[in-house]
Amino acid sequence: MDDTLAIFHATPMSTAFDYARYDRIRPIRWTGNTLELLDQRQLPFLTDRVVCHSSDEVARAIRTLTVRGAPAIGIAAAWGVVLAGDAVEAGNGAEALVSLQPALHRLNAARPTAVNLAWALNRMQRVLVDAGNDWRLRLRDEAQRIADEDLASNRRMGTLGAALLGPGSGVLTHCNTGSLATGGFGTALGVIRAGVAQGCITSVFASETRPWLQGARLTVWELQQDGIDATLIADSAAAHLMKTGAVQWIIVGADRICANGDTANKIGTYGLAIAARHHGVGFMVVAPSSTIDMATPTGGDIEIEQRDPEELLEIRNVRITADGIRAWNPVFDVTPAELIDVIVTERGMVERPSRDAIARLWE
């Protein structure tokens, strides 16, 4: 890579492949008056949907990981605002904005690390500022627009990211970044889908992603639905896998990208980046531009969500440790920008991310 090149906007290669073949799952479904969410806690053995009738039920679904993945959380929250609007009386958008503040606060507090949540809620609020008596319709239109834009962005990112992969590439992904985590196609998994479709990826590995096992329960199942062969590995096997030469790229998503390029993602990502740098493996972060948070200077400024320690002490309500054992359960870690080779967004790609390069992409 040319050391003078910090940012570039690529022209997508031909996308002759059939998107529908590689993108069969939709976790979020708006029915017109309720929000149906595929319960990701039950996968892969049950494909139940949770029906949300209120914004508080949407907030609960986000908090309990019924729906998860930064883009999907934002989309669900947008529809949560629509449901909140159906429950208040207001003559115009400004009045509605005042009445909706408690619901907006509860939605925003459901998952503090994923910046897409606050981004989507801010978009919904901006719609109300100058809305007249049609404010409910405008909220619905904006929520649908957020969902549609996410799908289009994911498809573009898939094409851009796949263009960086050499023929015969092996890739490793962490957590779940596919259709289950987005409006469709996926971020990091979208790059993998596009790479498989274009024939440049020959092997796909997925880490189990403790403690919620999103890789084991969701990613390999989702790829199986699309006919993509994937191999599951233990989280602790990743460095050894890189040492064997089976992997040329680590491809992950992001819940927040700071102004300097530091990136928060599922716990375990930081360790993968360190191992990748040691073994000469490329490290790619794939996320929509809505994940970039210019108001957060560095990764040290990110609030890292801590979840219930019981999630480490049991699996599906079955205790796996002795009584009295303590656990520490951060959900995310922060990968420093200097360990990231490229960040792929729908706006373009940034090599060797830095504060200046992120600012130029943002502008």
SS3 318: strand
Give the tens place of pLDDT for each residue, 249-289: 999 999 899 999 999 999 999 999 999 999 999 999 999 99
Give the tens place of pLDDT for each residue, 199-232: 999 999 999 999 989 999 999 999 999 899 999 9
pTM of the model as a whole: 0.86
Can you give the residue range of the structural domain that contains 179?
Answer: 156-362
Give the tens place of pLDDT for each residue, 67-105: 988 889 999 999 999 999 999 888 898 999 999 999 999
Mean pLDDT across the chain, nearest whole number? Answer: 91
Q: Which of 31, 6, 12, 338 is nearest to 190 (CA)?
A: 12
Q: Which pLDDT belongs to residue 8?
A: 40
Over range 190-201, report the average pLDDT: 94
Q: Does one domain contain both 229 and 131?
A: no
Q: Which pLDDT belongs to residue 12?
A: 41
Q: Does one domain contain both 202 and 279?
A: yes
Q: Which residues are catalytic?
A: 255
Q: Does one domain contain both 183 and 139?
A: no
Q: Does one domain contain both 174 and 114?
A: no
**Is the backbone peptide bond immediately before 44 cis, with ω within 30 degrees of 0?**
yes
Q: Does one domain contain both 333 and 352?
A: yes
Q: Which of 252, 251, 262 is nearest to 292 (CA)?
A: 262
Q: Which pLDDT belongs to residue 17?
A: 64
Range among 86-95, 230-239, 295-304 rated most confident: 230-239
Q: Is the pLDDT of residue 195 over 50?
A: yes
For residue 210, the Cα-to-chain-centroid distance in whole angstroms is 17
Q: Does one domain contain both 316 and 176?
A: yes
Residue ranges with strand state E in the chain? 7-8, 28-30, 35-38, 49-52, 169-173, 201-207, 231-233, 249-252, 256-258, 263-266, 282-286, 292-293, 314-315, 318-319, 332-335, 342-345, 348-351
Q: Which of 106, 124, 152 is the last residue of a domain?
A: 152
Q: Is the pLDDT of residue 10 over 50?
A: no
Q: What is the DSSP letter of 179?
A: G
| 325: phi then psi, degrees, rounded to nearest 5 | -80, 135
Q: Does one domain contain both 133 and 177?
A: no
Any idea what the CATH number is for the domain that residue 238 is in?
3.40.50.10470
Least confident of 20-24, 144-148, 294-298, 300-304: 20-24
Distance from C-alpha of 81 to C-alpha of 107, rounded to nearest angstrom:
8
| 170: phi then psi, degrees, rounded to nearest 5 | -105, 140
Over range 176-196, report the average pLDDT: 94
Domain total for the chain? 2
Give the tens place of pLDDT for each residue, 340-356: 999 999 999 999 999 99
Distance from C-alpha of 209 to C-alpha of 289, rounded to nearest angstrom:
25
Q: Does one domain contain both 335 and 192?
A: yes
Structure tokens at 229: 């062969």
